[in-house]
């Protein structure tokens, strides 16, 4: 009997699973689209789908083809349907006849990236957070050849720590601690890029000889105590992330932003309290939500919890309502640390704030 019940449940579930796996096109989705310079995969996917993170299903990535995701400005994308009636995009031949010079220019362009590289590149190349243990172990600035309290371009810095001769380094200032609002645990320190430089001399810590670092570029005044970290100049910036909805089990909060303001919006970079240890990956898309203000009913009428007196809260414990979370927008993770991740806000209906909730979309 139990087996029959299980089989019945499975048979009813399968159509729903298949339906959930189907793509839903926008009503105004075009039959063809010519990729433009400045487009991102998120932009292109949003032209066809209400859920842009389902792009891999629309594009049908083929692992047997080298770089199957690459799309270039000038490429024509055609919307077609497979034998099951499911939509898919394929490359077509543009109807426009480009001149040889334009064809050469298009060929020399970089492929379309998942997110705008001009926005996320600095955060990928440089760090935004160090743990307390990292800060304690990293080489740091002792002073400069000029004897000033702060240093800028052209100064030579003396660094406590072994540096590799001729290697490029980034200089960071320790910022505010990043606190997990759920546990009150410190996740690390926000770090701010102060400048970059090149090692002129490798030191010897055992002999009390500091390393020497020449400041090639400064974004702010460099001071004693600023930490020094190698820059991976030769590392290619990852321009492509496989878009996917964040796992249903994931739920976190926005804990930091790239701009020191109360509210932020589209194309601003934020930090969330979920990272590699929570199985977050670059390309994960999260919904941004906000808890609606709590309400308690009193004898004088409904009141917001924040406005209600302590007496009203104490004497009306059973009359407070569990208000819903309302969707604000969407964001995509592009860099992952152990317990935090950096994400780019891609869509907002209202300004986003610190402590807003992030969940699977």
- 37 in a domain, yes or no? yes
- Better pLDDT: 203 or 215: 215
Q: Cα separation of 197 and 212, whole Å?
A: 10
Whether residues 104 and 127 share a domain: the answer is no
Whether residues 102 and 130 share a domain: the answer is no
Whether residues 156 and 187 share a domain: the answer is yes
Confidence (pLDDT) at 70: 82
Eight-class DSSP state of 22: S
Q: Cα separation of 5 and 1, whole Å?
A: 6
Locate all alpha helices (DSSP H) within 63-216, ordered by sequence: 100-108, 117-125, 132-137
Residues 166-205 pLDDT 10s? 899 999 999 999 999 999 999 999 999 999 999 999 988 8
Residues 278-305 pLDDT 10s? 999 999 999 999 988 777 777 777 776 6
Question: Residue 79 maps to which CATH number?
Answer: 3.10.450
Confidence (pLDDT) at 97: 55
Total tally of structural domains belonging to the chain: 3
Tell me the three state secondary structure of residue 310.
Answer: helix
- Better pLDDT: 23 or 351: 351
Whether residues 217 and 292 share a domain: the answer is no
Confidence (pLDDT) at 307: 64
Residue 18 reports pLDDT greater than 50 = no
**Nearest residue to 258 via CA among 152, 154, 160, 335:** 335
Whether residues 186 and 165 share a domain: the answer is yes
Residues 112-150 pLDDT 10s? 999 999 999 999 889 999 999 999 999 999 999 887 777
Whether residues 171 and 88 share a domain: the answer is no
In terms of phi and psi (left: phi > 0; alpha: psi -120 to 50; beta: otherwise), the region of 177 is: beta
Tell me the three state secondary structure of residue 51.
Answer: coil
Whether residues 143 and 199 share a domain: the answer is yes
- 252 in a domain, yes or no? yes
Of 112, 132, 164, which residue constitutes the final position of a domain?
Answer: 112
Q: Cα separation of 219 and 276, whole Å?
A: 30
Whether residues 78 and 127 share a domain: the answer is no
Q: Work out the pLDDT band at 5, boundaries 50, 70, 90.
A: very low
Of 59, 91, 112, which residue constitutes the final position of a domain?
Answer: 112
DSSP labels for 70-106?
---TT-EEEEEE-TTS-EEEEEE--SS---HHHHHHH
Residues spanned by the domain of 251: 244-359
Whether residues 273 and 298 share a domain: the answer is yes
Reported residue count of the chain is 361
Q: Is the pTM of this model over 0.95?
A: no
């Amino acid at each position: 009997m139990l087996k029959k019940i299980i089989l019945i449940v499975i048979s009813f579930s399968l159509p729903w699973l298949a339906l959930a796996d189907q793509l839903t096109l926008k009503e105004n989705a075009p039959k063809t689209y010519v990729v433009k310079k400045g487009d991102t995969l998120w932009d292109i996917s949003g032209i066809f789908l209400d859920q842009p993170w389902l792009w891999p299903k629309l594009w049908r990535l083929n692992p047997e083809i080298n770089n199957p995701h690459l799309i270039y400005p000038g490429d024509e994308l055609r919307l077609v349907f497979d034998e099951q009636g499911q939509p898919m995009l394929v490359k077509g031949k543009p109807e426009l006849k480009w001149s040889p010079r334009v064809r050469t220019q298009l060929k020399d362009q970089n492929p379309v990236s998942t997110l705008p590289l001009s926005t996320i590149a600095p955060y990928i190349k440089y760090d935004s957070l160090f743990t307390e243990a990292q800060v304690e172990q990293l080489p740091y600035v002792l002073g400069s050849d000029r004897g000033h309290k702060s240093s800028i371009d052209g100064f030579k810095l003396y660094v406590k720590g072994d540096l590799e001769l001729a290697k490029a380094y980034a200089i960071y200032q320790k910022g505010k601690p990043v606190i997990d609002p759920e546990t009150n645990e410190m996740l690390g320190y926000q770090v701010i890029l102060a400048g970059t430089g090149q090692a002129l001399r490798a030191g010897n810590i055992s002999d009390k000889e500091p390393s020497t670092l020449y400041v090639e570029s400064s974004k702010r005044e460099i001071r004693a105590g600023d930490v020094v970290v190698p820059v991976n100049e030769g590392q290619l910036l990852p321009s492509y992330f496989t878009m996917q909805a964040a796992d249903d089990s994931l739920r976190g909060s926005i804990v930091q932003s790239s701009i020191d303001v109360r509210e932020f919006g589209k194309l601003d970079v934020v930090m969330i309290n979920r990272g590699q240890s929570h199985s977050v990956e670059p390309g994960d898309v999260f919904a941004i939500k906000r808890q609606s203000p709590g309400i308690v009913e009193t004898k004088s009428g409904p009141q917001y919890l924040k406005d209600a007196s302590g007496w009203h809260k104490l004497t009306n414990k059973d009359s407070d309502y569990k208000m819903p979370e309302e969707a604000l927008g969407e964001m995509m993770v592009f860099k992952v640390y152990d317990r935090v991740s950096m994400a780019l806000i891609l869509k907002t209906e209202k300004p986003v704030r610190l402590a807003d909730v992030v969940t699977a979309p």
